[in-house]
Amino acid sequence: MIFGSGQRHIRADIVIVGAGFAGIGMAIALDRAGRHDYVILEKAAEIGGTWRENTYPGCACDIRSLLYSFSFEPKRDWSRQFPMQPEILEYLRHCVDRYGLADRIEFGAEATSMAYDEAAGRWTVRLADGRSLDCRALVTAMGPLHQPNIPAIPGDESFAGPRFHSAQWDHGVDLAGKRVSVIGTGASAIQIVPQVAKVAGHVTVFQRTPPWVLPKPDRPITGRLHRLFRTVPGFQRAYRWLIYWEAEATIVTFTRPRLAGLGERMGRAFIARQIPDRALRAKVTPNYRMGCKRVLLANDYYPALTRANVDLVTEGVTGITPDGVVAADGGKYPADVIVYSTGFHVTDAFAHADITGAGGRRIADVWRDGPEAYLGATVAGFPNLFVLLGPNTGLGHNSMIFMIESEVHYVTRCLDLIDARGPLAVSGQAQLRYNADLQRRLAGSVWNAGGCASWYLDANGVNRAIWPGSTVRYWWLTRRLRARDYAPVPAGAAGAGAAESAIARPATREVAR
């Protein structure tokens, strides 16, 4: 308990918002850097973020367990190559215990507004229950895929049965024998459908765009491998490196779309192997370049679609009635339960965030035309603010934990600079330069030019989600801090003028390295 009984306001040097992989990784990095004056705010009653929220049947990672974990905290006894949700959550609980974080986390603490006070050079964080904190540096670790995106479908309120999003699975609903409609065929849906099809009476899957799906080389990790991890020095580290480079090598197929052809051949062969029916094959075969949307791994999705109790509907959903779903061709599909497997708010995730920087500028307004940051972490006009897994840090080919580790290291370097120079914000020019280069790199990539609409792109068609290249490059850029890219924002600088100088006139204020 961080707030003592009756205490309404506390001070801390650093506040971290969110106790998922990123918030936990940040806290460990701070302790390692000798910074112990921090608190973690978590709105839920438990740590884990993604791996606490997503408890749908079949929920699993599509990165191998040895890589989807912190490099400094290897787990020697992962049960599978690709871990299921409960095992990842257990791993995160272990990290919290091992690094003594439990009493640094305030649960049930939802940060509802975060405002920078220029006179004091500090952030004030207000919680939903009226409590507040102030701190020198604020780190948001609120999750890139955290806010469920449920499309407004005409008539949805009238549906008589249970309906829920994949990230808010209602385990109180017994699906045995029921008619279940699954809307969406993305990463969660392809894990849900095979599991639900085993118990439901009938499953109707509504597909807007088929995903590219490849075989998942998943299997239990044997006792022999566990023994080698335990007994042979360096073996587990070498194994992790192998997996890392195996994933990293695939980046060329994303940055050079013409190389995606090899994967597409594998994808088509996989469809041919798993789906005998020609009409169904045609329905599930994508007509865009592999990688344009997230490439999915599953051995049981296509077989599930061939089951007698599963139908795939490719006409868009146009309405919901009390007893079913209506498709664009007028077809009516009776349903007892609807599962929205419709993804998350990504490029607009901060649209409702009440974060106010220097000069009273709200991040939602600054990012109205799309979120932009520097290294996905710092934002011009928002001194001493760090956004973990911010804009353009998402990956289509490797582990997000690698990005988190690189980024939290970078934040510790920024904090050193703040110690030395006082409040800092990335200069507007550095942020502009950085994003111009980033968008140039994305321009010819499969994410932008692969011929699909995806959640990587914002409403204006600009890619705000993906890191455009190798993770080695991100590691390299975040290893050292370019102090000249940061402008001091002196405490006491008043009003909008200070914000403008941080954003528009950086050259006069930049700190030379």
Ligand X SMILES: Cc1cc2nc3c(=O)[nH]c(=O)nc-3n(C[C@H](O)[C@H](O)[C@H](O)COP(=O)(O)OP(=O)(O)OC[C@H]3O[C@@H](n4cnc5c(N)ncnc54)[C@H](O)[C@@H]3O)c2cc1C
Q: Which is nearer to ligand X, 333 or 386 (CB)?
A: 386
For the segment 52-81, give every residue that binds ligand X (CB under 6 A): 54, 61-63, 68
Dist CA 359 CA 97 (whole Å): 40
Dist CA 385 CA 373 (whole Å): 11
Please name the amino acid found at residue 222.
Answer: T
Q: How many helices (H) and strands (E) does the chain have?
A: 16, 20
Q: Which is nearer to ligand X, 375 or 502 (CB)?
A: 375
For the segment 111-130, give every residue that binds ligand X (CB under 6 A): 111
For the segment 350-389, give every residue that binds ligand X (CB under 6 A): 388-389
Q: Annotate 235-288 with DSSP letters as a single string.
A: HHHHHHHHHHHHHHTTHHHHHSGGGHHHHHHHHHHHHHHH---HHHHHHH--SS
Q: Annotate 23-53 with DSSP letters as a single string.
A: HHHHHHHHHHTT---EEEEESSSSS-THHHH
Near ligand X by CB under 6 A: residue from 15, 21, 347, 383: 21
- Nearest approach, Cβ of residue 458 and ligand X (Å): 19
Dist CA 147 CA 215 (whole Å): 29
Residues with Cβ within 8 Å of 78's Cβ and at least 6 positions away in sequence, in order, are 65, 66, 69, 87, 221
- Nearest approach, Cβ of residue 450 and ligand X (Å): 20
Near ligand X by CB under 6 A: residue from 29, 66, 137, 145: 145
Q: Is 18 in the site for ligand X (CB under 6 A)?
A: yes
Burial letters 327-350, b for 16+ CB under 10 A, else e: beeeeebebbbbbbbbbbbbbbbb
Near ligand X by CB under 6 A: residue from 185, 188, 274, 406: 188
- Nearest approach, Cβ of residue 374 and ligand X (Å): 18
Task: Map residue 123 onto helix, strand or coil.
Answer: strand
Q: Which is nearer to ligand X, 50 or 454 (CB)?
A: 50
- Nearest approach, Cβ of residue 124 and ligand X (Å): 14
Near ligand X by CB under 6 A: residue from 12, 22, 337, 465: 22
Residues with Cβ within 8 Å of 433's Cβ and at least 6 positions away in sequence, in order, are none
- Nearest approach, Cβ of residue 210 and ligand X (Å): 19
For Cα atoms 314, 320, 325, give the angle at the middle one, nearest 5 degrees: 40
Dist CA 126 CA 131 (whole Å): 6
Near ligand X by CB under 6 A: residue from 12, 14, 16, 17: 17
- Nearest approach, Cβ of residue 455 and ligand X (Å): 12
Near ligand X by CB under 6 A: residue from 44, 84, 280, 432: 44
Dist CA 39 CA 106 (whole Å): 7
Q: Residue with CB nearest ligand X? A: 49
Near ligand X by CB under 6 A: residue from 15, 16, 29, 50: 50
Q: Which is nearer to ligand X, 22 or 442 (CB)?
A: 22
Q: Is 26 in the site for ligand X (CB under 6 A)?
A: no
* Contact range with ligand X by CB under 6 A, out of 20-28, 273-281, 328-336, 504-512: 20-28
Dist CA 61 CA 69 (whole Å): 11
Q: Which residues bind ligand X (CB under 6 A)?
A: 17-23, 41-44, 49-50, 54, 61-63, 68, 110-111, 141-146, 188, 388-389, 399-400
